[in-house]
Amino acid sequence: MHKRIAPRSSNRQQESGIVMVMALICLVLMLVAAIALTRSSTNSLLQAGNLAFKRDLLNQAERGMAAAVKEFSSGTLMAESARIADQLNLDANKLHYSSSMLASNEQGIPNVLVNDGTFASAGMLSSQDYTDTAAGIAIRTVVDRQCTAAGAYDTATCVGNTPAVAAAQTGSMSIKRAKGESRATYRISVRVTGPRNTQVFHQMVVAY
């Protein structure tokens, strides 16, 4: 009596098909992992680049700040008569100055810096911006006195700065007591526009 042995070719084909499916699934998973790793690396490079741009622009903003402060110590804003004049002053050092407070947005940035149209309507000139073609940046500086109107400093219409006065002393210490002097404050705002139209705003308040 002869035993009939069933052919095994069909089982082998099924096993080969399963192996191929598993191999394809593994390849798909590896491809997805490779894409995710590539995107993660790209995002990291972009974030590092953006951080470098921001730091560089903040450093560039200090140039505008330094130029504005210099105007108060030895430039066109050194004289009180120039600071209280009822006009918008444009000087050779790329500075826009207003003797009265400029309208600002919720972040306290003057609208003339945020919007170029408002900037032009205020009589300010983009030609006064400091540009560095090599670095691809443009620095725009605006200074406004923190008073509601032009003219002499008045505590009723101006935001002033009064140095702290020491408590009353007795004896010879009373001679050394500092006397407070109220002075007007000035807001220095700088906008730096860099590569890829990146913008950074920087502010400082000084008293003179």
In a domain, 27, yes or no: no
Tens-place pLDDT, residues 156-204: 889 877 654 445 444 444 444 455 567 899 999 999 998 878 888 999 9
In a domain, 31, yes or no: no
In a domain, 43, yes or no: no
Q: What is the pLDDT of residue 173?
A: 46
Of 19-28, 83-92, 106-115, least confident by mean pLDDT is 83-92
In a domain, 115, yes or no: yes
Residue 93 confidence class, pLDDT cut points 50, 70, 90: low
In degrees, rounded to 5, the angle at the alpha carbon of residue 91 between the alpha carbons of residues 90 and 94 is 90
Q: What's the total number of domains in the chain?
A: 1
In a domain, 170, yes or no: yes
Mean pLDDT, rounded, of the chain: 78
- Residue appearing with tokens 């919720």: 106
Tens-place pLDDT, residues 137-165: 899 999 999 999 888 988 888 987 765 44
H helices present in the chain, as ranges: 9-74, 80-84, 111-114, 116-121
Considering only CA atoms, which of 88, 136, 85, 93 is closest in space to residue 110?
A: 88
Of 30-34, 115-119, 151-155, least confident by mean pLDDT is 30-34
pLDDT for 45 beyond 80: no
Expressed as residue numbers, the domain containing 121 is: 51-207
| 0.85 surpassed by pTM | no
In a domain, 144, yes or no: yes
Q: What is the pLDDT of residue 169?
A: 47
Q: Which residue type is seen at 100? A: S
Residue 99 near residue 147, CB atoms below 8 Å: yes
* Residue 64: φ, ψ to 5°: -65, -40
Q: What is the pLDDT of residue 15?
A: 57
- Strand 137-145 relative to strand 95-98, pairing: parallel
Residue 91 confidence class, pLDDT cut points 50, 70, 90: low
**What are the tokens at 188?**
């220095």
In a domain, 127, yes or no: yes
In a domain, 61, yes or no: yes
